[in-house]
Amino acid sequence: MYWNQEAECMSRDRLQELQLQRLKKTVERVYNSVPHYRRAFQARGLDPGHIRSLDDLKNLPFTVKQDFRDNYPFGLFTVPQHEVVRYHSSSGTTGKPTVVGYTRNDIATWAELMARSLVSGGATRNSVVQNAYGYGLFTGGLGVHYGAELLGAAIIPISGGNTQRQVMVMKDFGTDILTCTPSYALFIAEVIDEMGLKMEEFKLKAGIFGAEPWSENMRHQIESKLKIDAIDIYGLSEIIGPGVAIECSEKCGLHIFEDHFIPEIIDSESGEVLPYGEKGELVFTTITKEALPVIRYRTRDITSLTIEPCICGRTLVRMEKVTGRSDDMIIVRGVNVFPTQVESVLLEIGETEPHYQLVVTRVNNLDMLEIQVEVSESMFSDKIKRLEELEKRIFNRIDSVLGISAKIRLVEPKTIPRSEGKAKRVIDNRQI
Ligand code: DLL
């Protein structure tokens, strides 16, 4: 099922023609109205006339998060303030947040992409969509909201939190589509269980989960606990919000809406563009945005692209599930570790609960990684010996898969903080 078959199944030739035409317009737009871009282009001896083919994109300068900070709040906008109808912002953990803005047309584009995403994830106009992404400056809530309304589904704008009420509403309103972060979905499953309810009492069919990395094993956990299809949705504020890419029912890669965003994969070190199939940093250029077009934005997300045809019929390029951001990666004694890799190992062993946290400390100049993971009630009250055995097994598996010796700490059920939005997986206590 498609929302916009013409756009989602367009021939690659036609798509590239459209991309080039839109790219030229975007480049002219930013060059003529944003001093930052004009300066960056001129520093490379470039002007909009240099874009003659899609291949010329690789010569344009990158845009990075710092450029948003340096031009805070509206310096990268291409329209006067009266044309902006909405602001959002991403929660900067350090320094100023990133501010993004939308014209009326941008909001319409976003709703279109979210309608496509919801349909790809299994929603129809008869759906009841429970939207537990946070409403507010975060793009998740309102992004999904407008898409669901355009689709004609009934949206429940419940936002994140108050989980018992979420469960009650889910049951009583007959929610069939849940939208929230994967970590929150897991928490909802836990509360359903605590309330003594069974999934058979719900109409839930699918969940559209994103905004944070989650492993394939985490998907299986969520699918079996909630008895649904769990679909991955990707996006970021700087580009538009949720709805940049979405999985189809094949669940093998996320289709990127290339008629609006051109993706590239680059080598993070050299900045060189990598061919299809190779893993690297994902970079996006928006080609239809009005208020805030972005040229070659470095997402810091690690993935690869493929244009192998997909069984679903969409011709759009697919990106591999994002396993992590380069900023989330911790380097412990020289070994690169992504939280999702640890997650995958823990869930594969399967004797712990899917709630974990990584704590990094530095003792006598040596990095120490402690993996805290919850065990079930029954396991916790079991013999010490069994717990020690499990610790040992996790230690060995982490050592052989990730090449790192970590301290494993099995903790009591429900002691790791639950998240209602993006989960905090790493606590880095190193003073570097
Ligand atoms: O998280 C937008 C969003 C809302 C996406 C709801 C999906 C659903 P930001 O807060 O700007 O925007 O964070 C963007 O989150 O660069 C990735 O590192 C991460 N991220 C988003 N979706 C995924 C995903 C929203 N499906 C940053 N898998 C991105 C892995 C994701 N990481």
Provide the residue range defining the domain that includes 48. Answer: 1-255
Q: What are the two backbone dihedrals, phi and then psi, of residue 348, each rounded to the nearest 5 degrees?
A: -70, -40
CA of 316 to the centre of ligand 1 (A): 20
Residues 110 and 227 grouped into a single domain: yes
- Separation CA 29–CA 78 (nearest Å): 7
**2: its two tokens:** 């498609």
CA of 322 to the centre of ligand 1 (A): 9
CA of 380 to the centre of ligand 1 (A): 34
Residues 33 and 155 grouped into a single domain: yes
323 Cα nearest atom in ligand 1? 30
CA of 184 to the centre of ligand 1 (A): 14
- Number of helices (H), then strands (E), in the chain: 12, 21
Q: What is the mean pLDDT of the chain?
A: 95
Which of 201, 233, 255 is at the close of a domain? 255
Integer-rounded Cα Rg, in Å, for the chain is 22
CA of 114 to the centre of ligand 1 (A): 14
Query: Given this model, what pLDDT does residue 62 score?
Result: 98
Torsion, Cα 244 249 251 256, to 10 degrees, reads -20
pTM here is 0.95
Ligand 1 contact, 212 CB (< 6 A): yes
Within 257-336, where are the H helices?
Answer: none
208 Cα nearest atom in ligand 1? 8
Residue at 287 is within a domain: no
**301: its two tokens:** 């997300």
Residue at 289 is within a domain: no
Q: What are the two backbone dihedrals, phi and then psi, of residue 107, each rounded to the nearest 5 degrees?
A: -65, -40
Which of 255, 288, 311 is at the close of a domain? 255
Q: Is 423 a residue whose pLDDT tops 70? A: yes
- At 424, is the secondary structure helix, strand, or coil? coil
Q: How confident is the model at residue 94 (pLDDT cuts 50, 70, 90)?
A: low
Arithmetic mean of pLDDT, 101-106: 98
Residues 138 and 37 grouped into a single domain: yes
Ligand 1 contact, 175 CB (< 6 A): no
Proportion of the chain above pLDDT 70, given as a percent = 99
Ligand 1 contact, 215 CB (< 6 A): no
Query: Given this model, what pLDDT does residue 432 score?
Result: 60
Q: Is 329 a residue whose pLDDT tops 90? A: no
Order of strands across the sheet with 426-428? 407-411, 366-374, 356-363, 426-428
Q: Is 93 a residue whose pLDDT tops 70? A: no
Nearest CA to ligand 1 atom 10: 90
Nearest CA to ligand 1 atom 14: 236
Identity of the amino acid at 157 = P
Q: Decide if 260 contacts 316 (C-beta within 8 A).
A: no
Q: Helix-strand-coil percent breakdown of the chain, rounded to 5? A: 35, 25, 40
Arithmetic mean of pLDDT, 378-406: 92
